[in-house]
Amino acid sequence: MASLSGALAIATRALLNDNAGINVTSNNIANANTEGYSRQRPVFEEAAPIQYGSLQFGNGANLEQVESMRDKLLEIRIQQETQQQADSGAYLGAMQQVQSLFGNAQGGGLETAINGLFDSFTQLTSDPSNPSIRQNVLTAGENVASEFNRLSANLSQARAQLDQQVAGATDSVNQLTAQIAALNPQISLLRASGQNAGTLEDQRTQLINKLSNLIDVNTVQSDDGFTLTTTGGAALVVGNQSFALTLQRDASSAMLHIYSSGKDLTSGIQSGQLHGFLQARDASIPGYLAQLDDLATGLGTAVNAAHSSGYDINGNQGANFFTVTAGAGAAANLQVALTDSSQVAASSDGSVGSNGNATALAAIRNQAITGGKTASQSISNLVFQLGNDVSQTSSRQDAQSMALQQLQAQRSSISGVSLDEEAANLVKYQNAFQAAARVISTIDLLTQTVINIGASSTS
Amino acid sequence: MIRVNPDIFTTVLTGIEQSRQQSNNLLEQVASGRRVNAYSDDPAASATMVYNRAQSSLNDQFTRNISDLKAVLQTGDSAMSSAVTALTRALTLGIQGANGTLSDTDRQALAAEVDGIQQQMLSIANSSVSGNYIFSGTNVSTPAFVADAASASGVRYQGNSGVNSLELQPGQTTAINIPGSQLFTSAAGNVFQALNDLKTSLSSNGDVAGAVSSVRTAMNEVSGQRSFYGQVINQMDAASNALAQDKVRLQSQENDLTGADLAKVATDLSQTQITQNALMAAAGKVSQYTLFDFLK
């Protein structure tokens, strides 16, 4: 026969279980708005039955575990999408700035200056000996040089800024990997003893998400532990140890490179903000700088060639109009070499009023001066490239944002706390608690009755 | 049990955010009057605008060149007109002087007037505009002719044979000056030689008729050469018109490529507002209660 004390034990355990259920519900409600929280749910299992004589009696329920509701695969996909979106976002920010340095659809400094130079040559053809028109040519040349100088300096500055951002992001990566490494042993310990490490795992997932913002990461969870690497294979966290990234300044580019355990990781980083910054800093901006240098070299050389085939107002052979350092740095170093308007070589035969060379100078407008392109073609190409780059990145980022949101909504549908559900659970556990308490008080009454079975005859 | 995302606020907020972003973009278009501001708004249009602006600024320069030079050409034309008038007078004098019945004194008087016409012609040939001698070829700082007693024609040419060309509009170039040597002292008709011969023949009672014939030849030559100036001025006017039309075309292209269609923007803006309000109203209705409100 099953005993009363057996029933009491079952009911007591039921009370404790329902208490636990209420605890879990309370925890869920309290964390309803905690970022990265995965809702928990108590998992009850039937206790092993007890044999009384030939009959099996159920023995109540045990709280096996408190389970965190999460989808690991979904979390990984969220991390990957976060990396992509952060990459696009960082690159977009940098290139939008570069785009506005050049100008906008209404015009730009360099473009206006170059048009001004060609126009000044065209004006020179109408009155080549006019002193103020000749001075205008010099001034227009100086405007072109200073616009090239300015733009080149601004692009270099943009690179320097990105360099700082790379350093900042790398620091943040190191802080996060250190925090993850600190959590790992705690999580392993809990899991080894069969307990729910839900809260700590939530925290770790959040840290990995933040890390995904910065750099591309791969998670490997094996029985011996937790490993975090970049997709290129460099170790970031192994078990309870984190491997900090270091920064070294590269000798040839004067830019910071990222090292992991002595190996240069810089070109191996594939997404996250770091990739966006590095892409802009090491590929895109230098590309535009090179185009600028080519244009400066081409324009300076063409003007010099035409200028030195003519004669100035005193009948002297034309000197170089610009000082040109061809190749890298051409834009930064372009200067006007002439010092006086009398040196402007408008004449083609040495006579004061000849406009033959002015015509040759004006014709440069339509000549191919760099890579088979005229100055206008060169600028137009650059404008299109820049605009297209930004526009495509922007579209890509929009698409990635949408994808990320959908993934997060999916995650929320699995792991998010629903207040309706918790309310229902609360009622459920409350009722069960009350019922179990009722059982206990009934058993108490019965026990009293049993105790008093032989007591009433004494008088 | 199928679970839905319990957090609707994120979705609602995202929707509102997108809606506001759209409003902002549209308002920026209204404020600037432009649909395309950054290169990334429309890369192809931005690239085309580079050409548009280059053509536009060149167009302005051509127009300025024409208006600056027209004055010079007009001076040349009126100088030639004065020359023809002076030569006509010389012709009259010469015809008078060819009359055998004149006395020496009379002929001297005629010769003296021809001398005056010679000086006038020298001054005409040395016309200048803003300090540049317009008949000196490209030696513009030097007077075209100088009196030279050693010369048979009485003058010496100091200019050169340089001719400047000017591009009036893209692809159209024209010469803009004629050297004085071609205008006044060419083999086809030498004005100074003819006038000098006339003066000499009148004062020494020489071959006046012959000199008159030379003067007539020179006058016809000058008349013929003069037409150059009228032609160039006409070309300039025509080019000016063409440039003005092209300017309009460029402005129209700019508007097509980058201008905001304000009517469409206004419509889109009110549509966006409607969407935004509907979104917020719906969110307000849906999210008011949880089960907690209904459990006692």
pLDDT band at B239 (very low <50, low <70, confident <90, very high): very high
pLDDT at residue B5 is higher than 90 = no
According to the model, what pLDDT value does residue B1 have?
Answer: 67
The reported pLDDT for the residue numbered A457 is 56
pLDDT at residue B32 in the model: 87
> For the segment B258-296, what is each residue's pLDDT rounded down to a tens digit?
999 999 999 999 999 999 899 888 888 876 778 888 886
* CB of A49 closer than 8 Å to CB of A28: no
Banded pLDDT at A198 (limits 50, 70, 90): confident
* Number of neighbours of residue B142 by Cβ within 10 angstroms: 18
pLDDT at A33 over 60: yes
Q: What percent of chain A has pLDDT over 70?
A: 98
- pLDDT category at A456 given cuts 50, 70, 90 is low
The answer for A52, left when phi > 0, alpha when psi is -120 to 50, beta otherwise, is beta
Task: Identify the pLDDT of residue A2.
Answer: 61
Domain covering B50-251 assigned CATH 3.20.20.70 in the classification: no
A71 interfacial to chain B (CB closer than 8 Å): no
Q: How far apart are CA A112 and CA B29, in angstroms?
A: 24
R_g over Cα of chain B: 39
Residues whose CB falls within 8 Å of the CB of residue A405, separated by 6 or more in sequence, listed in order: B10, B11, B14
Work out the average pLDDT over A308-317.
96
Given a cut of 60, is residue A167 above it in pLDDT? yes
What pLDDT shows up at residue A206? 94
How far apart CA A133 and CA A130 sit, in angstroms, is 5
Query: Where do the domains of chain B lie?
Result: 50-251
Tell the residue number behind the tokens 């050049």, with chain if given.
Answer: A102
Quote the ipTM score: 0.92
Q: Is A365 touching B (CB cutoff 8 A)?
A: yes
In the predicted model, is pLDDT for residue A149 greater than 60? yes
Give residue B228's pLDDT. Answer: 96
The answer to whether the Cβ–Cβ distance between B5 and A412 falls below 8 Å is yes
Q: In this model, does residue A458 exceed pLDDT 70?
A: no
Q: Say yes or no to pLDDT of B2 above 80.
A: no
Chain B partners of A428 at a C-beta cutoff of 8 Å? none
Residue A47: pLDDT band (50, 70, 90) is very high
Residue-wise pLDDT for A342-360, tens only, equals 999 999 999 999 999 999 9
Q: Is B156 helix (H, G, I), strand (E, B) or coil?
A: strand
Interface probe with B: pick from A351, A369, A393, A401, most Cβ of B within 10 Å: A351
Q: Which of A96, A353, A418 sits opposite B138 (nearest CB)?
A: A353
Give the burial string for A352-361 (b: 16+ CB within 10 Å, else e): bbbbbbbbbb
Q: pLDDT by residue (tens digit) across A332-343?
A: 999 999 999 999
pLDDT attached to residue B177: 95
- Mean of per-residue pLDDT scores for chain B: 93
Per-residue model confidence (pLDDT) at position B224: 94
* Interval B187-192 mean pLDDT: 94
Chain B residue numbers with beta carbons less than 8 Å from the beta carbon of A137 are: none
B166: left (phi over 0), alpha (psi -120 to 50) or beta: beta
* Torsional sign, CA A211, A216, A222, A224: negative
Q: 3-class DSSP state for residue A57?
A: strand
Is B164's CB within 8 Å of A394's CB? no
Say which residues have a Cβ less than 8 Å from residue A450's Cβ, sequence separation at least 6.
Answer: A4
Would the CB atoms of B40 and A353 count as touching at under 8 Å?
no
pLDDT for the residue A122: 98
pLDDT surpasses 80 at A1: no
Q: State residue B283's pLDDT score.
A: 80
So what's the pLDDT on residue B142? 95
Could B65 and A408 be called an inter-chain contact, meaning their C-beta atoms sit closer than 8 Å? no
Q: Which of residues 92-121 of A touch B (CB under 8 A)?
A: 96, 99-100, 102-107, 111-112, 115-116, 118-119
pLDDT, one tens digit per residue, over B119-178 is: 999 999 999 999 999 999 999 999 999 999 999 999 999 999 999 999 999 999 999 999
CB contact under 8 A, B47 and A380: yes
Average pLDDT, chain A: 93
Scan residues 301-360 of A and list those with Cβ closer than 8 Å to B: 347, 349, 351-356, 359
Q: What is the mean pLDDT of residues B189-202?
A: 94
Query: In the predicted model, what is the mean pLDDT of residues A264-272?
Result: 92
CB of A276 within 8 A of CB of A91?
Answer: yes
